[in-house]
Structure 1
Amino acid sequence: MYVKVEDLREGNVLLDDVMGKTPVPLMAKETTLTSWHIKILKAFLINEVAITEGPSMEMTVEKEVTEEKKDYQAATPSVKQTDFFQNYLQSVEEHNKEFQKWRAGGGIDIVKIREIILPLLERVISNPELLLELINYAEKEKYFSHHAISTGLLSGGMAVQLNYEKGTIVQAALAGTLADCGMAKIDPRILLKEKALTAGERKEIHDHPLASYKMVKDISLLKPETKLAIFQHHERMDGSGYVNGIKGDKLLPVSRIVALADVFHAMTTDRPYRKRQLPFKVLEMFREDFFGQFDLSVVKSLTTLFTKLPAGTVVQLSDGQVATIVFMKQQYPTRPLLQLQKSETILDLEKRRDLYIEKIL
């Protein structure tokens, strides 16, 4: 039978999916309603739903929901408390040692690079939410090693989302990790400079993809398209990039992945000359401010990596408020429906464009 939302009781069970304004159901059929569910239905201005009057389950359901939230909140730190971040920081140290060797004129040990990045990649594929935490570990002094590891992991993660086979996923991760190896050939004083670069210094920076390519071109374990992705990682779909200003179909698929991973990590970490921006804000900028520069399918794959957040995920907003995700919107994945923890108010980020998710708690 159909019942008005204001007349619903805890313990009622939905007979049909409740649809909002997206193709994905707001609530699935056979959901046992709690006060939390009823509040969400009201927030979405749902007038009535089809239900069966199940038994009064007020205490049982509340307990189950509470325990579920506790389980999730307890599980979140358990993932973060694994040795992943210890291994990540160790990989940064190992990469930094290799980077110093390149500065001294040494060649790239591709076996070593594989040993550094691939174990982390396996962990990220299983737990993509770990990627959001990487930006909190970056150090300015070892920026290029943090950037290399993170760009490699992001590139591999996006290749997974795009359904590439394992070999291409590995090659994408290697391309991301080695894209900026040519920075080792640039004067460190330029790399750490906080003031505006001169024209000559800017040209030296813009030439680093060519330096990177020269360092990898004879490595047999890298595929030709991987080497080309390293060379092309600053090119853009609309031709506005460098070194050659190529565009469109001339950019290989892996090149498009690494290009986006490179910019995303750079924008979301502190640099000597620029403060970091919030990841969810940057994801929106790729669709709006930088529209046309990046492959939209690749942008979608990166967005998917960070927005596969289940209901119950606790987040911190850009204004410091803590909230719980109620519903992820397919059309606006960076702007879910939230419930503020302090006031229990329902907040729709789609309508509050001044706020962004800052981090997952």
Structure 2
Amino acid sequence: MKVHVEELTVGCIAAEDVMGLTANPIIKKGTEIEPIHIEVMRAFNIRQLAILSKTADGGMVDAEPSKDEAYNETADFHEVENYSFKKLYMDFVKFFNAAFNGWQSGSKVDVVDLKNKLTPLLKAVSSDRDMIYYLPRWSQPKDYMAHHAVSTALISYLIAEKYGYDKGACIQTALAGIIADTGMAKMPLSILKKTGPLTQEEAIEIRKHPIYSYQYVMDTPLLKNEMKQAIYQHHERLDGSGYPRGSKRSDINLPAQMIALADVYHAMTSERLYRARQSPFKALETIMHDEFGKFDIILLKTLQEMVGNLSTGTKVELSNEQVAEVIFTKPDELLRPMVRSTLTEEVIDLSTNRKLFIERVIS
């Protein structure tokens, strides 16, 4: 059905591409509508939008159909790619939460079950890397542990894939990524539920979790020894500032460095009980500059290419809440392209205007 823009609610699903004044859609079919999309349609003087009858969380749309134009709804809700991926993702988050409760009660980590449940998500994210933009948006503070584990696995997989690992190694890296924090199940509830800064004693306890995670899988033949080591080392840093051993550079294996980067990137870009999320673009700049020397520069550039390097015509929201369109990206400034405001037509070179940055990509 078609509804007036003023009747749209957050969570509706676009049933068709919405075209503006460019060759590319300003909103793609299957997009989950957020406030910024409504603002964009108003800016382009778009009066109505064809949407599906269900929202992204499976509820029914509560809006009156537009009488301006009849609409024959033929789209299959379950075939909308963004929704299908989100459903897979949210189902896995629920599964991980249940499994984590079991580990807290003394159950063993079932690597086979984790792999079987994770594989469909890996296939989906491999076929559409743009899903990397959605992961931080879907993360919820109350279920952060599960969201973080699943997203770290997916981002680790994408980094490994783009780096050139074969399919088997990519899957192993993702599996190590999702197991990396299983040792948190051995932490006291007082620490896991704490919303403020940790005491020195609590911080020391938290730093034991990679050891516990390794112990969960040390005897399984389903993970390569390299991946077991990656689980143990995923909080190590190249400059020796990490834990649990303070290992440096060549002593830290490559999968561990991939998982470490995925881990910190998702943590910085996700809403948490005690910290607001950062823009993916700003977070990568922070990692590059403030954490220089801690992460492998080639892996950092690999992640930058995945998040940045936006194609011409991509719609973005800037840090000043302006909506803009990417018109050119310099090879050495993948996170700071040249954009054009959709409202004023002003061209802004983000590589020279450092006060502004891309807040997020508009689907």
Is residue 149–residue 177 contact of structure 2 (8 Å, CA) maintained in 1? yes
Alpha-carbon offset, residue 196 of structure 1: 2.5
Q: Match of 1:195?
A: 196
Alignment partners' CA distance in 2, 1:210 and 1:253: 18
Letter in 2 for 1:167: G
Q: Match of 1:268?
A: 269
Alignment partners' CA distance in 2, 1:317 and 1:140: 24
Structure 2 vs 1, CA of residues 67 and 195 (structure 1 numbering), >3 Å: closer, same or farther? Answer: closer
1:220 paired to 2:226:
no
Is residue 193–residue 273 contact of structure 1 (8 Å, CA) maintained in 2? no
Alignment partners' CA distance in 1, 2:295 and 2:179: 20
Alpha-carbon offset, residue 300 of structure 1: 0.9
Letter in 2 for 1:352: N
Alignment partner for residue 74 of structure 1, among 28, 44, 52? 28
- Give deviations 1:57-108, integer Å, cap 9, x for gaps: xxxxxxx9946223x6435739664311111111100111111110110001
Is residue 269–residue 279 contact of structure 2 (8 Å, CA) maintained in 1? yes
Q: In the comparison of the two structures, how many residue pairs are matched? A: 297
Alpha-carbon offset, residue 308 of structure 1: 4.0
Alpha-carbon offset, residue 194 of structure 1: 2.1
Q: What secondary structure does 2:324 align onto?
A: strand
Q: Match of 2:11?
A: none
Alignment partners' CA distance in 2, 1:221 and 1:156: 17
Alpha-carbon offset, residue 157 of structure 1: 0.1
Q: Match of 1:357?
A: 358
Q: What secondary structure does 2:175 align onto?
A: helix
RMSD: 1.7
Q: Match of 1:287?
A: 288
Alignment partners' CA distance in 2, 1:116 and 1:335: 37
- Spell out the pairing of 1:314-329 with structure 2 (5 A cutoff): 314-329=315-330
Query: TM-score, normalising length from structure 2?
Result: 0.79
Structure 2: segments with no counterpart, 5+ residues? 1-18, 33-79
User: Percent same amino acid among aligned pairs?
Assistant: 40
Alpha-carbon offset, residue 112 of structure 1: 1.3
Alignment partners' CA distance in 2, 1:186 and 1:65: 52
1:98 paired to 2:52:
no
Alignment partners' CA distance in 2, 1:353 and 1:77: 30
- Give deviations 1:327-355, integer Å, cap 9, x for gaps: 12210100000000000110110111111
- Spell out the pairing of 1:1-361 with structure 2 (5 A cutoff): 66=21, 68-70=23-25, 73-75=27-29, 77=31, 81-361=82-362
Is residue 138–residue 146 contact of structure 1 (8 Å, CA) maintained in 2? yes
Structure with more of its chain in helix, by fraction: 1
Alpha-carbon offset, residue 276 of structure 1: 1.4
Alpha-carbon offset, residue 251 of structure 1: 0.7
Letter in 1 for 2:326: I
- Give deviations 1:103-134, integer Å, cap 9, x for gaps: 11000111111122221111111211111111
Alpha-carbon offset, residue 273 of structure 1: 2.1
Alpha-carbon offset, residue 270 of structure 1: 1.8
Q: Which moved more, 1:275-284 or 1:73-82?
A: 73-82
Alignment partners' CA distance in 2, 1:98 and 1:77: 31
Q: What secondary structure does 2:83 align onto?
A: coil
Structure 2 vs 1, CA of residues 332 and 167 (structure 1 numbering), >3 Å: closer, same or farther? Answer: same
Q: What secondary structure does 2:143 align onto?
A: helix
- Give deviations 1:26-83, integer Å, cap 9, x for gaps: xxxxxxxxxxxxxxxxxxxxxxxxxxxxxxxxxxxxxx9946223x643573966431
Letter in 1 for 2:90: L
Alpha-carbon offset, residue 201 of structure 1: 0.9
Q: What secondary structure does 2:275 align onto?
A: coil
Query: TM-score, normalising length from structure 1?
Result: 0.79
Is residue 161–residue 304 contact of structure 1 (8 Å, CA) maintained in 2? no
Q: What secondary structure does 1:77 align onto?
A: coil
Alignment partners' CA distance in 2, 1:80 and 1:306: 19
Structure 2 vs 1, CA of residues 275 and 67 (structure 1 numbering), >3 Å: closer, same or farther? Answer: closer
Is residue 114–residue 174 contact of structure 1 (8 Å, CA) maintained in 2? yes
Which of the pair has more CA radius of gyration?
A: 1
Is residue 210–residue 231 contact of structure 1 (8 Å, CA) maintained in 2? yes
Q: What secondary structure does 1:82 align onto?
A: helix
